[in-house]
């Protein structure tokens, strides 16, 4: 029997995987949006959670929306930049039994239909200012958002982003809406 020594990189990977597995958990809150204690949603609130992310990405959870067929949308970041935009980032997780295609998330607007399976139908709603902010698009009508959201396998998580025009400077609380999902209140941070 031969015993191999593990190097520091192998140990770090093992520890990271163990931490991710410990942080994973399930729940039966289908059809509800949840958020951290500092941000309430219209459906329910929960504790602040972490989701696995790529290196350099935020693991803070601003809100979580649980929809049909086991689909969960987690919003990790909503940041305002100096150019007058708000970028929303997060992850889409398929906790269901079948593959998922985001074809219903394109929205009703014909101008972004070219975006295909995407989060092009996402909207930020400023209830106080009584305004809706739609996902920005380029000159070809393609959304400034994650596209090609097809074939998301069961237990697979994919990152997403969507860029919007920024609400006025004083507006930090908005509602993030995505077709077929419950709305969730999120807080915009200064980027």
pLDDT tens profile 122-158 = 999 999 999 999 999 999 889 999 999 999 999 999 9
Residue spans of the domains in the chain: they are 28-190
The pLDDT assigned to 16 comes to 40
Q: Is the pTM of this model over 0.75?
A: no
The pLDDT assigned to 107 comes to 79
DSSP track, 109-176:
-GGGGGG-SSSTT-EEEETTTTEEEEPPB-TTS-BSB------B-TT-EEEEEEEEEPPPTT--EEEE
Backbone angles phi, psi at 104, to 5 degrees: -80, -5
- Provide CB contacts within 8 A for 159, sequence distance 6+: 53, 54, 57, 89, 90, 91, 92, 146
Measured CA to CA, the distance from residue 86 to residue 20 in angstroms comes to 29
Residues 97/60, Cβ–Cβ less than 8 Å: no
CATH level 2 (architecture), domain 28-190? Sandwich (2.60)
Q: In which band, very low, low, confident or very high, does the pLDDT at 112 lie, cut at 50, 70 and 90?
A: confident
Of the candidates 156, 155, 133, the one whose C-alpha atom is nearest the C-alpha of residue 145 is 133
Report the length, in residues, of the chain: 191
pLDDT tens profile 46-102 = 333 444 444 445 579 999 999 989 999 999 999 999 889 999 999 999 999 999 999
Backbone angles phi, psi at 66, to 5 degrees: -115, 125
- Provide CB contacts within 8 A for 95, sequence distance 6+: 26, 70, 71, 72, 154, 155
Tokens of 180: 């077929």
């Amino acid at each position: 029997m031969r015993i191999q020594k593990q190097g520091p990189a192998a140990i770090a990977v093992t520890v990271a995987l163990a931490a991710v597995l410990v942080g994973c958990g399930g729940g039966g809150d289908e059809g509800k949006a949840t958020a951290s204690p500092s941000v309430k949603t219209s459906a329910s609130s929960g504790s602040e959670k972490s989701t696995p992310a790529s290196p350099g990405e935020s693991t803070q959870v601003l809100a979580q929306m649980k929809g049909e067929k086991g689909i969960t949308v987690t919003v990790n970041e909503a940041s305002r930049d100096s150019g007058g935009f708000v970028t929303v980032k997060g992850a889409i997780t398929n906790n269901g039994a079948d593959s998922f295609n985001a074809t219903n998330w394109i929205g009703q607007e014909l101008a972004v239909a070219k975006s295909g399976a995407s989060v092009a139908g996402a909207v930020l709603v400023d209830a106080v200012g009584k305004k809706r902010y739609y996902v920005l698009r380029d000159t070809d009508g393609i959304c400034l958002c994650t596209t090609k959201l097809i074939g998301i396998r069961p237990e697979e998580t994919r990152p997403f982003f969507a860029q919007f025009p920024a609400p006025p400077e004083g507006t930090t609380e908005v509602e993030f809406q995505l077709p077929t999902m419950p709305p969730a209140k999120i807080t915009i941070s200064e980027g």
